[in-house]
């Protein structure tokens, strides 16, 4: 066989080898079987019963064979919740401290789990009952090596329980550690980050009655640097508590639902933090005047009283805003909060006005239109609690020189004390 024939024969053998090898390779790989975790023991207590078992000590060892069942409603996937799972059943919610990261890889929302509680501990942190382990004579996290002998998954993740529909004014201790939804909320500081980079951060959410709830966000959350949106919408999350003050944790930004961007402009936003701010006081009668004040509960406000040194004095005092151009806006609404003592809402000692021809100085030389405030939206005088006025319609006002004013009057017979804060004038650009 010559050289050329030998080369051709070698090529033929190589080609046949490749064809035979390719024929031995399967075109598809067998899929691995899906392992569905199954629990073969029953639960014998509910979350509410387990939490009621806690006796109020700094920590309490569970030395009975309690088994509780629940569905995961929140984990550590976004980083806003750290080494913690939240579960709930029909009776309540439960925080479980676990000394392991990336819990979300096994315990996804909707995952049903059974917990053998014997050997674990109950305790409180910030007023919230939680399940975990002993750490420095207080409640802590269950060590990593013990997790798989206490927590057991049952079946594949299913449907996450629907959130409880609540208002800020109706949330209660029974809702702690539960998945909750609150509608018609807005952030008081839109445009700020959810959390500063140096530490977990509290931001305020408010409803239409200006009831406030803290949104707490970890600086390690993957959305910490995102900006709080303007506008209103629903917020879903875990209700918690720290030292008797409610707090709220969202799991990620998908927990902001049905958000409607704010197209309204804020013309006045006055809390009298250090002075009368954008308002000016004018005393028509009497020596007492409106002045900036900080209440015993640290609320900044403007305060006026005709009572001094044990004596009632006759006064007429006005608190007047800067000039506002209403021609550039429509749908103007005014809101504020007031507290009062030693009077009544109907005694005429506090009234609200607007004027389109006031310039400066004595307000009695201008024409003023009274704005009716429902008596139910004014304080009763029984205490110093601030009451929200609601949104008062000022759309009838017009002109490029509109002033808002609050008028106080007292007599030698009756001299109420009034405090006002959180004055907001909002409108839509024309």
**CA-CA-CA-CA torsion sign (268, 271, 276, 277):** negative
Render pLDDT for 3-43 as a digit per residue (tens, 0 to 9): 455 545 455 455 545 444 445 445 555 677 888 999 999 99
The CATH number corresponding to 47-154 among 3.40.50.620, 2.30.30.140, 2.160.10.10, 3.90.850.10 equals: 2.30.30.140
Q: Round to whole Å and give the CA distance between 317 and 301.
A: 16
**pLDDT confidence of residue 262:** 81
**pLDDT confidence of residue 18:** 47
How many CA atoms, within 13 angstroms, populate the side-chain half-sphere of residue 174?
5
Q: How many CB atoms lie within 10 A of CB 302?
A: 24
Render pLDDT for 145-201 as a digit per residue (tens, 0 to 9): 999 999 999 999 999 999 999 999 999 999 999 999 999 999 988 889 999 999 999
> Which stretches of 173-229 are assigned E, i.e. beta strand?
179-187, 201-206, 212-217
The answer as to CATH 3.50.50.60 being correct for domain 164-262 is no
Cα dist from 233 to 78, 237, 240, 329, whole Å: 21, 13, 20, 24
Render pLDDT for 49-88 as a digit per residue (tens, 0 to 9): 999 999 999 899 999 999 999 999 999 999 999 999 999 9
**pLDDT confidence of residue 51:** 96
What pTM was estimated for this model as a whole?
0.68
The CATH number corresponding to 267-429 among 1.10.287.130, 3.40.1440.10, 3.30.700.30, 2.60.120.260 equals: 2.60.120.260
Q: Round to whole Å and give the CA distance between 160 and 73.
A: 6
Cα dist from 244 to 95, 128, 240, 241, 379, whole Å: 17, 9, 10, 6, 25
Q: Round to whole Å and give the CA distance between 261 and 16.
A: 69
Render pLDDT for 198-252 as a digit per residue (tens, 0 to 9): 999 999 999 987 789 999 999 999 999 999 998 899 999 999 999 989 999 999 9
Q: Which residue has the higher pLDDT, 142 or 266?
A: 142
Q: Round to whole Å and give the CA distance between 276 and 7.
A: 101
**Domain range summary for the chain, segments of one domain joined by +:** 47-154, 164-262, 267-429
| 213 DSSP 8-state letter | E
Q: Which residue has the higher pLDDT, 65 or 428?
A: 65
The first and second tokens of residue 106, run together, are 């096994």
């Amino acid at each position: 066989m010559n050289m050329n024939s030998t080369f051709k024969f070698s090529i033929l053998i190589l080609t046949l080898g490749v064809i035979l090898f390719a024929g031995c390779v399967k075109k598809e790989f067998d899929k691995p079987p899906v392992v569905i975790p199954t629990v073969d023991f029953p639960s014998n207590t509910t979350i509410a019963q387990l939490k009621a078992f806690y006796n109020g000590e700094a920590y309490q060892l569970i030395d009975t064979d309690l088994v509780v069942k629940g569905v995961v409603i929140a984990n550590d996937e976004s980083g806003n919740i750290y080494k913690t799972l939240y579960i709930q059943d029909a009776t309540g919610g439960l925080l479980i401290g676990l000394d392991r990261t990336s819990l979300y890889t096994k315990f996804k929302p909707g995952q049903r789990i059974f917990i053998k509680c014997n050997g674990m501990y109950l305790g409180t942190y910030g007023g919230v009952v939680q399940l975990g382990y002993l750490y420095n004579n207080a409640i802590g996290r269950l060590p990593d090596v013990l997790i798989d002998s206490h927590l057991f998954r049952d079946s594949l993740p299913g449907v996450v329980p629907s959130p409880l529909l609540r208002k800020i004014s109706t949330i209660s201790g029974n809702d702690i550690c539960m998945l909750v939804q609150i509608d018609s909320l807005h952030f008081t500081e839109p445009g700020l980050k959810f959390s500063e980079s140096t530490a977990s951060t509290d931001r305020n959410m408010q409803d239409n009655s200006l009831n406030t709830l803290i949104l707490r966000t970890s600086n390690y959350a993957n959305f910490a640097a995102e900006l709080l949106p303007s506008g209103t919408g629903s917020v879903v999350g875990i209700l918690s508590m720290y030292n008797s003050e409610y707090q709220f944790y969202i799991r990620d930004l998908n927990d902001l639902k049905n958000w409607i961007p704010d197209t309204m402009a804020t013309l006045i936003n006055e809390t009298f933090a250090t002075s009368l701010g954008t308002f000016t006081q004018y005393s028509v009668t009497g020596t007492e005047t409106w002045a900036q004040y900080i209440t015993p509960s640290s609320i900044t406000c403007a305060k006026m009283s005709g009572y001094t040194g044990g004596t009632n004095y006759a006064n007429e005092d006005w608190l007047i805003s800067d000039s506002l151009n209403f021609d550039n806006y429509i749908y103007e609404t005014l809101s504020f909060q007031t507290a009062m003592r030693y009077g009544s809402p109907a005694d005429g000692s506090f009234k609200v006005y607007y004027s389109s021809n006031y310039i400066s100085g004595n307000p009695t030389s201008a024409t003023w239109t009274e704005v009716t405030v429902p008596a139910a939206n004014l304080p009763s005088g029984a205490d110093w609690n601030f009451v929200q006025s609601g949104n008062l319609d000022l759309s009838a006002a017009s002109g490029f020189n509109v002033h808002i004013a609050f008028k106080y009057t007292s007599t030698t017979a009756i001299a109420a004390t009034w405090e006002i804060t959180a004055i907001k004038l909002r409108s839509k650009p024309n």
